[in-house]
Amino acid sequence: MSNKIIQEKINKDYEWGWSFDIESEIAPKGLNEEIIRFISYKKNEPEWLLDIRLKSFRYWKELNHPHWAHINFQIPDFQDIIYYAAPKKKTLSSLDEVDPEIIKMFERLGIPLEEQKVLAGVTPNVAIDAVLDSISVKTTFREVLAEKGIIFCSFSEAVQNYPDIVKKYFGSVVPYTDNFYAALNSAVFSDGSFCYIPKGVRCPMELSTYFRINTAGTGQFERTLIIADEDSYVSYLEGCTAPRRDENQLHAAVVEIIAHKNAEVKYSTVQNWFPGNKDGKGGVFNFVTKRGICLEDNSKISWTQVETGSSITWKYPSVILKGNNSVGEFYSIALTNNYQQADTGTKMIHIGKNTRSTIVSKGIAAGYSQNTYRGLVQIRKGTEKSRNFSQCDSLLLSDTCGAHTFPYIEVKDISAIVEHEATTGKISEEQLFYCIQRGIDKEKAISIIVNGYCKDILNKLPMEFAVEAQKLLEISLEGSVG
Amino acid sequence: MSALLSIKNLHVSVNGNEILKGFNLVIQRGEIHAIMGPNGSGKSTLSYVLAGKEEYEMTEGEIIFNGKNILDLTPEERAREGLFLAFQYPIEIPGVNNVHFLRTALNSIRQHKGLEPIDTSEFLKLVKEKQKSLALPSNLINRSLNDGFSGGEKKKNEIFQLSILNPLLAILDETDSGLDIDALKIVAQGVNSYHNKENAVLVITHYQRLLDYIVPDFVHILYKGKIIKSGDKTLALELEKTGYESFKV
């Protein structure tokens, strides 16, 4: 996803639609206790984790698929999915032995797995954890980070090396009983990233996970756990792509963030899973539970997401504001084109005193797509002077698309201040004419105007990501002019 | 060399109402023309139909711009061929950086001419030079396109774009409206420094005032969709004294 790759391919379709022929170890299709035991065995997991998996699975079996979202799709056949696919030759102990084919594949995605030589005194910008199908294939710059006591590794390694930390926090923000897909994930999750920032440490570089689905017929169920101890800071980035395939692929991840006293976590996502073709065939189902907890006083969690991919996006990155004076933020751009559907937003749960949350959501719908903002602002009793500001803007680019806003606001404390603003509009003909009178073609003009519309949120992204996100918006809008 | 712009027997309707009714005009390279007329005479319609705005329908006549039949060209192609409209009410586009926008426009035009995109340092040099000569505050050029600009700043920004894009024909649609005398002088100075033997300017205005600073070679009076009188710059002065009433046919 580097700029160079994006620019090279700017005038084409979904450019990450290729797949590499990587020799993989693949579990048989289907879901049962045996598969779960197999995954757990493969990962050499302790008994307690297998227990959680099995409990989750038994719980999940009793659940009905939820149907309240504003999306229309065929419920996946959970017995027709491969729950474990891992590239062969991978050895957990020797990270230098990554299959050259895999390195090549990530290079084509613009993700360097070879650490560039670190010059004396110069800190690299980004450390990357690369997740291919079910497992993490490489985490870069671990040594540099380790000097500061920062742990950044794959989830599987964390289970082996830091079981106490994992056990303490796993499922503490998103328990397996939370929802249908969280239960499924807790049963079959394969890998993901783990990150621990110790007390008083400001992480010197962006930590990044890059998710790639490669094998056909697989689901991706990653699990990410980020813990920011007292007075620490980390900025975390997440990017994703998948090959173009005719069938729908399921991506059901769980992300948990814990922020201790005075800690700050910034989590940015640029989601570009395969969105399906122009007629709505294929594409990734992106059903993800992301939640952070401001566990102690003065902590802050900030979600920024740019959602351009997936045939269906269904997720609500949320913050539980438990500590006093804690802050939650949610900045979102969701762009849907062709037959894409998005039902996304956030939950801000105010529990601590003087807690503050900000929600800014920009939904852009084109083609035949449906774009929904759904958000909950809950201010509990005794929160004393908590406040929320929400702004939900929708932009319609065609007369066959839909934009919907479902804000839920529950206020139980009389001293709370809650503001909600919403707008729905179209790009004005006057704006468009102004651009084309200056010689800019219509499609480019629309992307310029949409980028401007999203400017406030793009500005929240780390520099490298902001540029990529702008290009992505441009590519995703292609063909939106009738 | 043939005329830069030649309009013959132009009839234009908007929503079924005929606004221009047999309009004729020929502009040669190097000339400055002024069109004056009362409200509703069809001045803005003329500028929009030249630029190619959708709801302005040409029902009769012919417009040849730089040797090409304008009907064959989309609005963006007309712009790239060198037709520039300084809008009466420049639109605000929030979040879109003024200079970035201008660079995109310039590169679209350059691409049309088969030129490479402009080099960054060269472009910034050009921007700086024009910004100074138009006395634009430097923060103005880095703000969002016309967003929160005062009326005068918007008009200056149009002339700033004109000076950078350097088109063959500049149509100024009531660029003087809402300008104080200092801003008017700066705008006029910008237009004059743009103007040369190869290009032409079409000034559309209500008032003679602007023509003190942008001196026209020809003045035309537009009334009810037709030019009813043409002359040199003295016609504008005469008009200022007597008003449009005395020219009614």
Give yes or no for residue A120 having a pLDDT over 50. no
Q: Nearest CA of chain B to the CA of A366: how many Å?
A: 19
Among A438, A441, A452, the residue with its CB nearest the CB of B95 is: A452
Q: Nearest CA of chain B to the CA of A109: how many Å?
A: 27
B151 three-class SS: helix
Q: Nearest CA of chain A to the CA of B186: how many Å?
A: 22
pLDDT digits (tens, 9 = 90+) for A217-259: 678 888 999 999 999 999 988 876 655 556 678 889 999 999 9
Which residues in chain B touch residue A442, judged by CB atoms under 8 angstroms apart? 76
More confident call, A91 vs A31: A31
pLDDT in the model for residue A246:
62
CB of B164 within 8 Å of a chain A CB? The answer is no
Which of A367, A45, A373 is closest to A186 using CA atoms? A45
Domain borders along chain A are 3-114+122-427
Residues ≥6 apart with Cβ < 8 Å to A366:
A335, A336, A337, A338, A397, A398, A401, A477, A480
Mean pLDDT, chain A, whole residue set: 84
pLDDT digits (tens, 9 = 90+) for B42-62: 999 999 999 999 889 899 999
Q: Across the strands, what pairs with A320?
A: A293, A349
Q: What are phi and psi of A406, to 5 degrees?
A: -120, 85
pLDDT in the model for residue A18:
58
Domain borders along chain B are 5-247
pLDDT digits (tens, 9 = 90+) for A321-348: 999 999 999 999 998 988 999 999 999 9
A449/B76 CB distance under 8 A = no
Determine the topology of domain B5-247 in CATH: Rossmann fold (3.40.50)
Q: How many CB atoms lie within 10 A of CB A420?
A: 15
CB of B108 within 8 Å of a chain A CB? The answer is yes
pLDDT in the model for residue A456:
85
Q: Using the Cα atoms of residue B69, residue B72, residue B75 and residue B76 in order, give the sign of their dihedral.
A: negative
Residue type, A242: A
pLDDT in the model for residue A19:
63
The pLDDT of A440-445, averaged and rounded, is 90
Judge whether A199 and A231 are in contact, CB under 8 Å.
yes
ipTM of the prediction: 0.95
pLDDT digits (tens, 9 = 90+) for A378-429: 999 999 999 999 999 999 988 899 999 999 999 999 999 999 999 998 888 8
pLDDT in the model for residue A20:
60
The pLDDT of A90-108, averaged and rounded, is 58
